[in-house]
Structure 1
């Protein structure tokens, strides 16, 4: 494997629309970022994070060290939860406006960084709210500069133009995608991930696996999204078991983080479809449900549904997890069962019934998938027509183990 010859301590620039500093020790690029901001007179920032990650990872000590060195003032919003809400976005925006923030830092996984992206938009639009942003009431064309310091290997949000938030009273969990919310700079440092708990390691990685499953099979798929998908699965199959058995394995964390980043780039190019469109209602109805777990429970049923129409692609992409597929439509049951068995072997043994959903929820979930703002766009690029019966069948087939 070529990765044995890669020096994981060589911090390089992964250049997409964002300049991402990648590698062990990348957090020290905070010096360059702080100097860049200072030279341009951007000396007031709001930091958006959750109550834990920014401190336990060690990121905060480095960030504040360089803030102080370059005379950057900051205000801290540390109330972001998993499945962040538009109320949190509004709170952080108010804090940022009162402070006069010129830049928004997001430190954490997808939830804090997505919240930071949203705040960056609202700081440029007086009188607008998080709910208006996520219900598509206006189309932003500008945002304050965004810096993303990533602490998980799953979302890819540090290198893409997507963000997600929940509108709890409507049980909506829409997504947005705008060019103005690409981070200016981001940091992907594997040493910030060694404190990730077992379940977080698992769930965030499965998020990346779903990103490429969808990006390689949408109607917008392309050779680039498929190529990145193949490499993502190979790396996850190789290094997820290692990271689960030894959380301090920096080499395993490095390659899972790289897999997550290229998966983010893959769906930035190829978009998403069923799994994400159907998971968002799950965690909108049950906000405590981990996004990656919701995706994992749906994935086998989604693959079973779409495989006959994209068999050649998925057979090749999933070779490291379900070997021996020939890319024939009749293998749909085999690959779906193979993926579910692999997930169970990795430690995800829950299905929808395990987390409180039942047959009685199927109609409501189906309706939410079809009516939540933005999810219709995802469903419109699915490889098969996203009819109500198809969506309901995916939910139904995800209630129990196949």
Structure 2
């Protein structure tokens, strides 16, 4: 396998619109970023994280050290939760404005980095709120510089233009996508992932798997999004079991992190459709539900629906997990069951009914999927028409394990 011929300690630059420092030891590149701050006249920054990630990963030790060495002042907002809210975004923005922050540093997984992206916008649009941003009440054209220090291998948010937040009072979980929130710099260092609990290792990796499942099959798909999808599945199938059995395996973390990054680039190009559009209502209604778990519970039913329209693509993309498919529509049931079996084998055995959802929730979830701001755009990208009965059927077929 050629992967053994790559020096995982060679920190290279993964170039997309974001300059991403990638590899074991990449966190040391934050020193270069502070030099860029100084060159740009940035003397004050706000750091956004959750209560744990920035400290337990060791990222903060380096970040604080290099900020102090350059004399860059900072303030920390560390109240971000999984499935972050517009209330948290507003709180962090207020803190940043009072401090006079000129840039935003997000340390963590998708939740802190998405929050950082949102705050970067609102620091420029001081008369706006997080809810107004996520309900599409205005279209931002600018944001403060964003630095994304990633601590999970799933979201890809460190290299893309997307962010997500929940408006709790409306049970909305919209997404935004603006060019102004591509991070200027990102750090992807596998060393920061070794403390990830097994469940988070699973859930974040399945997020990446869903990114490419959708990006390779939207109506906006391209050879690029499909190529990245194929490599993402190959890497996940190879290295997820290794990371689960040995959390300290830097080689496995490296390739799961690389899979996550290229999956982020894949859906930045190919966009998303059913699985994300239908998961957002799940974790909007139950904010404690991990995003990746919600996606995993929906994935088999989504594949079953879209496979007849995208059989040639998914048969090739999923070859490492479901070998031997011919790429014909009649295999939809086979691949759906096999993917579900693989998820169970990896350790994700829950379905929607295990998380408290019932048949009675399907109409509400369907309504939210079809009315939450931005989710209609995702549904419009699906390879089959996203009619109400299709959405309902996916939810129903995700309540319990396939028979």
TM-score (norm 1): 1.00
Matches within 5 A, 1:104-123: 104-123=104-123
Deviation per residue, 1:3-31 (Å, 9 max, x gap):
11000000000000000000000000010
1:304-343 equivalences in 2 (<5 Å): 304-343=304-343
Aligned to 2:103: 103
- Once the two structures are superposed, the pairs formed by residues 5-16 of structure 1 within 5 Å of their partners are 5-16=5-16
TM-score (norm 2): 1.00
- For residue 218 of structure 1, what is the aligned residue in structure 2? 218
Query: What pairs with 1:206-285 in structure 2 (closer than 5 Å)?
Result: 206-285=206-285
Q: Distance in 2 between matches of 1:121 and 1:3?
A: 39
Unpaired stretches in structure 1, ≥5 consecutive residues: none
Whether the 8 Å contact between 1:89 and 1:130 is mirrored in structure 2 is yes
- 8 Å contact kept, 1:275–1:299: yes
1:233, 1:393 → 2: CA distance? Answer: 26
Once the two structures are TM-superposed, the CA of residue 222 in structure 1 deviates from its matched residue by 0.2
Listed one character per residue, the Cα deviations across residues 60-114 of structure 1 (whole Å, up to 9, x for unaligned) are: 0000100011110000000000000000000000000000000000000000000
Conserved in 2, the CA contact under 8 Å of 1:110 and 1:155? Answer: yes
Q: For the Cα contact (< 8 Å) 1:38–1:71, is it kept in 2?
A: no
Residue 202 of structure 2 corresponds to which residue in structure 1? 202
Which residue does 1:128 correspond to in 2?
Answer: 128
SS of alignment partner, residue 46 of structure 1? strand
1:182 match: 182
Give the drift of 1:39.
Answer: 1.8
SS in 2 for 1:322: coil
Q: Distance in 2 between matches of 1:397 and 1:82?
A: 26
2:57 alignment counterpart: 57
Deviations 1:306-356 (Å, cap 9, x if unpaired)? 000000000000000000000000000000000000000000000000000
CA RMSD of aligned residues (A): 0.3
Distance 2:46 2:4 in 1: 39
Aligned to 2:272, the other structure's residue is in SS state: coil
| 1:149-187 per-position Cα deviation (integer Å, ceiling 9, x unaligned) | 000000000000000000001000000000000000000
The equivalent of 2:168 in structure 1 is 168
Is the CA contact (8 Å cut-off) linking 1:175 and 1:374 kept in structure 2? yes
Q: CA deviation at 1:126?
A: 1.7
Q: Give the Å deviation of 1:40.
A: 1.6
How far has the Cα of 1:215 moved from its partner? 0.0
Instruction: Tell me how many residue pairs correspond in the alignment.
Output: 402
Give yes or no for contact 1:283–1:291 (8 Å, CA) kept in 2. Answer: yes
Quote the residue 1:19 is aligned against: 19
Asked if structure 2 preserves the Cα contact closer than 8 Å seen for 1:159 and 1:186, the reply is yes
Alpha-carbon offset, residue 43 of structure 1: 1.1
User: How far apart are the structure 2 equivalents of 1:181 and 1:40?
Assistant: 18
Aligned to 2:46: 46
Residues 346-385 of structure 1 mapped to structure 2, 5 A cutoff: 346-385=346-385
State how far apart, in whole Å, the 2-side matches of 1:40 and 1:173 are: 35
Give a deviation string over 1:269-300, Cα, whole Å, max 9, x none: 00000000000000000000000000000000
Structure 1 moving runs of 4+ over 2 Å:
none
Q: CA deviation at 1:38?
A: 1.1
The runs of 5 or more residues in structure 2 that have no matched partner are none
Cα deviation code 1:211-249 (max 9, x no counterpart): 000000000000000000000000000000000000000
Residues of 1 paired with 2:144 and 2:243: CA distance?
36
Matched, 1:28 2:57: no
